[in-house]
Amino acid sequence: MAWMAWTWPTAAFFASIVLALTAMTLAEMRWPTAERQGWLPLSTTRGDRFFISLLGSAFIHVLWLAATDLPVAGAGLLSLGYAAVVMTRG
């Protein structure tokens, strides 16, 4: 695995993605999703909203890094808030 040049932060990042996907799978088995329309301009399933949360969070970080020198934890907090809004009301 050395050739993959692992670091602790990236390992934690990917582990959290895997955990989130596992949780989504278990949630789907326990409470099957139904399409619904929230404030997003399209009908979405739980998986769609998860994908939109991840993609949106990635771009929040990109814009943060492009625009400011403030600690990136700010982008992380912003992303968590965004993901919570998308998952619950999107």
Partner 1 sequence: MRNDKAWLAVLPVVIVVAFTAIVPLMTVVNYSVQDIFDVDTRIFVGLDWYRETLRDPRFIDALLRQVLFSGLVLAIEVPLGIWIARAVPREGPATAAFLIVLAIPLLIPWNVVGTIWQIFARPDIGLLGAAVTAIGLSYNYTGSALDAWITLLLMDVWHWTSLVALLAFAGLASIPRACYQAAELDGANAWQVFRYVELPRLRAVLTIAVMLRLMDSLMIYTEPFVLTGGGPGNSTTFLSQYLTTMAVGQFDLGPAAAFSVLYFLLILLLCWLFYTSVMKGGADDR
Residues 27-86 that bind partner 1 (CB under 8 A): 41-43, 51, 55, 58-59, 61-62, 65-66, 69, 72
How many chain residues touch partner 1 (CB under 8 A)?
A: 23
Nearer to partner 1, 6 or 89 (CB): 6
Nearer to partner 1, 32 or 88 (CB): 32
Q: What CA–CA distance (Å, rounded) separates 72 from 86?
A: 21
**Cβ within 8 Å of residue 74, ≥6 positions away:** 64, 68
Helix axes 73-89, 46-67, angle to 10 degrees: 150
Q: What CA–CA distance (Å, rounded) separates 49 from 54?
A: 9
Residue 20 Cβ vs partner 1, minimum distance, rounded to whole Å: 15
Q: What is the DSSP letter of 71?
A: -
Residues in touch with partner 1 (CB under 8 A)? 2-7, 9-10, 13-14, 41-43, 51, 55, 58-59, 61-62, 65-66, 69, 72
